[in-house]
Amino acid sequence: QVQLVESGGELVQAGGSLRLSCAASGVTFSAYAMGWFRQAPGKEREFVGAIGWNGSTTYADFVKGRFTISRDNAKSTSYLQMNSLKPEDTAVYYCAATLSSARLGVAGGYVYWGQGTRVTVSS
């Protein structure tokens, strides 16, 4: 059965860093593009960034160089490195998988989703 499990979410002070992980099982990981999304209370789920099967990356404008997405196919894991965290980064972060790379920034294009990991950034 396909499963994506996020981990690494913590309470962190503004300016700090976190690395989130998304471990996949039940899929041929290397064939999937992996997206990262986040959802803050009262807001829609928004795109953070994604990495294709070939390692190419794309990011939302708000990232502004602070976040980096990577993948380790041997470990079937995608990573979201977040630096210079701000209180507005507080959200539940989700990873997702898709075989289509046409519209990686659109949540509806992803078939598989993790349960999310909570990131809280305090000022």
- Chain segment 47-79, per-residue pLDDT in tens: 999 999 889 999 999 988 999 999 999 999 999
For the chain, what's the residue count? Answer: 123
Residues 33, 53 contacting (CB under 8 angstroms): yes
pLDDT value, residue 25: 94
3-state class (DSSP) for residue 100: coil
Task: Count CB neighbours of 66 within 10 A.
Answer: 15
Task: Write the DSSP symbol of residue 45.
Answer: -
CA distance from start to end of the chain: 40
Q: What would the two tokens of residue 90 be?
A: 């507080």
Give the residue carrying structure tokens 């503004």.
14
Number of other CB atoms surrounding residue 115 within 10 Å: 11
Tell me the per-residue pLDDT of 11-39, one tens digit each, with 9 for 90 and over: 999 999 999 999 999 889 999 999 999 99
∠11-104-102 over CA atoms, to 5°? 175
